[in-house]
């Protein structure tokens, strides 16, 4: 996120409560459980933002052949949210070849980082590739990336909490809030 330090926060306005998030995660987990059964599968958390959604989601996945792994991505270029140069700053450690892969992200916005990750995992011959995101800002897409399991759709406002940050702050909040600037 660019220029985060320039903006003073006046207020955090509640958007999704912990109860709403927990209820939606139950629904998503049921969909995911129905989709994969016990087929070999890797759930991949996109750090840092995905950590809370991932940990709450995976505890309700019943796949007996589920493995967990983590990636962290960095993007370079001017205007960080829409920059197009993405690299791994941490790659998965598990071989995903022939396995179903479920990427678990906090928010999908322009789609650039997910396009990079989907491209990388496709080249490694994942058996299938799907994307779960707590929040899908689908109207802000700059590249063609589809969220298969979306917690919530939201296109307005800058949100924090439940893993989402504003200049590394607020990730620990149990709910999602909109940042209201001064
Ligand atoms: N909050 C945090 N990170 C983000 C957002 C947001 O609203 N949009 C894209 N990255
Ligand atoms: Mg993020």
| Tens of pLDDT, residues 94-117 | 999 999 999 999 999 999 999 999
Which residues, judged by CB distance below 6 Å to any ligand atom, belong to the binding site of ligand 1?
A: 1, 81, 107, 109, 158-160, 164
Backbone angle region of 6, left / alpha / beta, with phi > 0 → left and psi within -120 to 50 → alpha: alpha
Give the confidence band of 4 by pLDDT, cuts at 50, 70, 90. low
Question: pTM of the entire structure?
Answer: 0.94
| Residues with a beta carbon under 5 angstroms from ion ligand 2 | 49, 106
61 CA → ligand 2 middle, Å: 23
Taking the mean position of all CA atoms in its chain, how far away is CA 51? 9
What is the spatial distance between Cα 52 and Cα 173, in angstroms, rounded to a whole number?
Answer: 10
Say what the pLDDT of residue 2 is.
45
Contact between 39 and 63 (Cβ < 8 Å): yes
Residue carrying structure tokens 């995903």? 96
The residue to mutate among 12, 46, 109, having the most atoms of ligand 1 within 8 angstroms of its beta carbon, is 109
Q: Break the chain into its structural domains and give their ranges.
A: 16-156
Return mean pLDDT, the chain: 94
CATH of 16-156, one of 3.30.450.30, 3.40.50.2020, 3.40.50.970, 3.40.47.10: 3.40.50.2020
51-58 vs 18-36: helix crossing angle, rounded to 10: 60
Say what the pLDDT of residue 84 is.
76
E strands present in the chain: 9-16, 41-47, 66-76, 85-90, 100-108, 128-136, 149-153, 159-160, 176-181
Per-residue pLDDT tens for 58-68?
Answer: 999 999 999 99
66 CA → ligand 1 middle, Å: 29
User: Facing residues of 136 across strands?
Assistant: 108, 153
How many H-runs (helices) and E-runs (strands) does the chain carry?
A: 3, 9
User: Facing residues of 71 across strands?
Assistant: 46
Q: Above 70 in pLDDT, residue 81?
A: no
Nearest-atom number in ligand 1 for the CA of 109 is 9
């Amino acid at each position: 996120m660019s220029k985060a330090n320039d903006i003073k926060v006046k207020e955090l306005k509640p958007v999704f409560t912990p109860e709403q998030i927990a209820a939606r995660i139950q629904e998503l987990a049921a969909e995911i459980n129905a989709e994969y059964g016990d087929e070999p599968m890797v759930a991949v958390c996109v750090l840092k933002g995905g950590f809370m959604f991932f940990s709450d989601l995976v505890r309700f996945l019943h796949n007996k052949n589920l493995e967990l792994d983590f990636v962290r991505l960095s993007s370079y270029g001017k205007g960080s949210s829409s920059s197009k140069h993405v690299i791994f700053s941490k790659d998965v450690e598990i071989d995903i070849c022939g396995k179903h892969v479920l990427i678990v992200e906090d928010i999908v916005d322009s789609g650039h980082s997910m396009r990079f990750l989907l491209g990388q995992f496709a080249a490694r011959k994942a058996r299938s590739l799907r994307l779960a995101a707590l929040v899908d800002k689908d109207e802000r897409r700059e590249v063609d990336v589809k969220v298969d399991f979306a917690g919530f759709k939201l296109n307005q406002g800058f949100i924090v909490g439940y893993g989402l940050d504003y200049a590394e702050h607020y990730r620990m909040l149990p709910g999602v809030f909109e940042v209201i600037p001064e």
